[in-house]
């Protein structure tokens, strides 16, 4: 059973440090890559990476980084947010954001039947273009989908074309690990909504 495909459709974006986040989307990946945010570059995240991610992931593509730019340009309207961030344990904040980012990009294992050559086109542009065409959607709609949802559609397209095959054995192993992560994530969301 390909649980990764199903699980991503059931996720609800969390509230972290008082901010309700949108599903972690390809638009968010592109913005965070542009700013060199540690959550997408693979470096060790610090508090400023957390703040940047929270402000960017609060909005979708149609909002054009409104919250982030408003915070950068004025600081005052979001002083309450900044104070909450300063009182939050950085390790806990990094862990919560890491779970959020990972939850929305949980994918099945695949292998490629191609020659392995990579293009210099940024991956988010390539994936959004292919998925928008495959689903007959405007690219803006795809930019706001969660990474997991977009990549699931992308994998369906690639598998239809014979470029990849979803590996069911690796998926079964991932299933147990992902169930535990998902259960912890959903429990934390219930606690956050109740608290």
pLDDT band at 45 (very low <50, low <70, confident <90, very high): very high
Taking CA atoms, 25 is separated from 97, 131, 143, 148, 172, in Å, by 14, 13, 6, 8, 25
What percent of the chain clears pLDDT 70, i.e. is strictly above it?
Answer: 77
Q: Please report the pLDDT score of residue 21 as a whole number.
A: 92
pLDDT band at 17 (very low <50, low <70, confident <90, very high): confident
59 phi, psi to nearest 5 deg: -115, 160
pLDDT single digits (tens) 160-186: 888 877 776 666 676 677 667 777 777
Tokens of 45: 């995240």
Q: Which residues contact 53 (CB under 8 A, 6 or more apart)?
A: 28, 32, 37, 39, 97, 101
5 neighbors 108 (Cβ within 8 angstroms)? yes
pLDDT band at 1 (very low <50, low <70, confident <90, very high): very low
pLDDT band at 36 (very low <50, low <70, confident <90, very high): very high
Mean pLDDT of 68-87: 74
User: Distance (Å, rounded) from C-alpha 171 to C-alpha 152?
Assistant: 13
Single pTM value for the model? 0.64
């Amino acid at each position: 059973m390909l649980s990764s495909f199903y699980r991503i459709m059931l996720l609800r974006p969390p509230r972290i440090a008082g901010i309700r986040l949108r599903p972690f989307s390809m638009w968010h990946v592109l913005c965070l890559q542009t700013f060199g945010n540690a959550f997408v570059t693979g470096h060790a995240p610090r508090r400023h990476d957390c703040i940047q991610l929270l402000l960017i992931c609060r909005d979708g593509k149609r909002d054009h980084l409104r919250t982030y730019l408003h915070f950068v340009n004025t600081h005052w309207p979001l002083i309450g947010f900044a104070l909450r961030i300063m009182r939050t344990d950085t390790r806990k904040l990094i862990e919560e954001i890491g779970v959020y980012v990972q939850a929305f990009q949980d994918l099945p294992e695949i292998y490629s039947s191609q020659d392995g050559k990579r293009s210099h086109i940024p991956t988010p542009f390539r994936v959004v273009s292919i998925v928008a065409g495959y689903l007959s959607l405007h690219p803006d709609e795809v930019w706001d989908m969660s990474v997991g949802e977009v990549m699931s559609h992308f994998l369906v397209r690639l598998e239809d074309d014979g470029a990849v095959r979803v590996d069911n054995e690796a998926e079964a192993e991932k299933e147990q690990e992902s169930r535990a992560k998902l259960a912890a994530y959903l429990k934390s969301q219930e606690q956050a909504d109740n608290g």
